[in-house]
Structure 1
């Protein structure tokens, strides 16, 4: 962890947070940045869930403890992938919990917590159950131009209808309120490219010990509206491998249909650099301190593969689609 800077940083070098900080989400509010990271079944020193950092420049970060007060009886569960939005003076945190020490036969479900302050502490207020889903993770709230909120998330599909691979895919539903889904989910994207393979011949206790010849993963949705189109970014493949990276699909309407222009060649937006960066992904988007440059904030493995550390790099919109100017591993100018 680097100490606070007296003046705004002009350069950066990844990782900007050189400790374990998986699934980073960064909220920009009132001139400050707040970063939330997955803690799994662990607790921060103050007994809370989700690591919390603050910064004024995206580069120098200070620890603020934990963000979420864990509900009673949740000690054995994993908490994953927090994201926070502000609506009418209240901060809403979306995340999943489940599995953990209870075992692989217990799935994950989405939850929402609230706080009057960006740094929390947050208190769980509701579950967001998804019908017919035993494994639902990576909630991402998106507000459209008319003010309506939607929740994008990842869930398992066990069928291979229409030639898709079984595995985790992406879904969107309207939020009937900030703490309730409308219950009208639409599929955004399912796996159909070889690079998103999580594991071959994967036996799943969650589905009665069924073995899937190919199990694929699309996760970590994050939506951006750009030039009149909706881009749903996502991470794909096994997070332990060098195939893991960030790609996207696009639509003319927030509810789709979304068009997948990817290929078997691999992730187009962000991908590993052999010998330097492994498994970059599960990202969010945030603007630079001067509001001019869009950055991806993502995690990548350290050399020993013992920590997923927080990194940043600029995103650019090209004629071929969105592309990250990274992952970088040398000193870079902060744009």
Structure 2
């Protein structure tokens, strides 16, 4: 067997490996942290934030190695208010570095109306977001007032976009859809919001009619927008939209929606309800990584919202020949089971 042939064979075998067989992580990375968001900054650090089970604060961590994320200092950078706006259900923080400053986008309700939730933003000019002062920049307005959560932002070809979840203004029942709009600053959108996806398939309507938690991955001249669907129990899963990066991303016709979930519960690996993901890369930028939460058991007692055991996990993404991501199935890990609060 020639050296060239051996190389080609090894490469083919490597490409054929499913995501679950790729080199992995010490999962779960962080216990009892849902809705994880990780960003690899130019300083070489991974910055991490997530929903805490008490729903009362925002924490940040940083590390150069994702595998030791659970051991990194968790610094509380902001706490909920005692009353009024931002006083309940502090959910889904995301940390983004834009034009030389750090921004935390998050969801919050009010103590007197916990589910009357909206999008809010914090700003910090320090080089290290675990330091400096976080300034409240108020509500991020979307054009109408209704149940809104899970904001993310991405720049494509020099234009920054906001993608988020909201109840449509014409909805006659409780349901959520994913929207996108251009941003004219890190604190505001410009132009009308465009609905990209609403629950239509059975797998998007298990328990609740939900499309939420968009996350963007720009690769191979395309934009892949994942989102989470159904109730936050074992039904929770990822769907995906895709569009050409050169397209008008605010045009619904530019997007193609997968008719099937792209990532879902696996009895084989013992991971249930994988979702609310983020994307990052290896330190050298050559390997794409899916970060998400899941539980190590299927059956939940009571409301899933009060079950704290959604743990942060990560795994390598592989790519199909057509240039689309293959997330595989949630990889097995140490099953920590149920943990007390």
> TM-score, normalization: structure 1?
0.79
Q: Provide the rounded CA distance (Å) in 2 between the counterparts of 1:158 and 1:110.
A: 16
CA RMSD of aligned residues (A): 2.5
Q: Provide the rounded CA distance (Å) in 2 between the counterparts of 1:95 and 1:277.
A: 26
Give 1:170's aligned residue. 178
Pair 1:221 & 2:214 matched: yes
Q: Provide the rounded CA distance (Å) in 2 between the counterparts of 1:84 and 1:35.
A: 8
Give 2:338's aligned residue. none
Pair 1:248 & 2:240 matched: yes
Is the CA contact (8 Å cut-off) linking 1:280 and 1:327 kept in structure 2? yes
Q: 1:124 to 1:198 in 2, by over 3 A?
A: farther
CA-to-aligned-CA distance 1:71-112 (integer Å, 9 cap, x gap): 56457411111111112211011111115x4246x5211111
Structure 1 residue runs of 5 or longer lacking an equivalent are 1-9, 44-48, 200-214
Give 1:185's aligned residue. 193
CA-to-aligned-CA distance 1:46-89 (integer Å, 9 cap, x gap): xxx22222221111021232132545645741111111111221
| Higher fraction of strand | 1
Is the CA contact (8 Å cut-off) linking 1:232 and 1:248 kept in structure 2? yes
Q: Provide the rounded CA distance (Å) in 2 between the counterparts of 1:57 and 1:272.
A: 27
Give 1:92's aligned residue. 103
Equivalent positions of 1:126-205 (< 5 A) are 126-146=138-158, 148-157=159-168, 159=170, 167-199=175-207
More displaced, 78-87 or 254-263? Answer: 254-263
SS for the counterpart of 2:176 is: strand
Equivalent positions of 1:41-120 (< 5 A) are 42-43=55-56, 49-61=57-69, 62-71=72-81, 73=83, 76-99=87-110, 101-103=111-113, 106-115=115-124, 116=126, 117-120=128-131
Structure 2 residue runs of 5 or longer lacking an equivalent are 1-22, 301-306, 335-341
Question: 2:48 is matched with which residue: 26, 35, 56?
Answer: 35
Is the CA contact (8 Å cut-off) linking 1:71 and 1:124 kept in structure 2? no
Q: 1:72 to 1:223 in 2, by over 3 A?
A: same
| Higher fraction of helix | 2
SS for the counterpart of 1:216 is: coil
More displaced, 280-289 or 126-135? Answer: 126-135
| 1:197 shift after superposition | 1.0
| 1:306 shift after superposition | 3.9
Give 2:137's aligned residue. 125
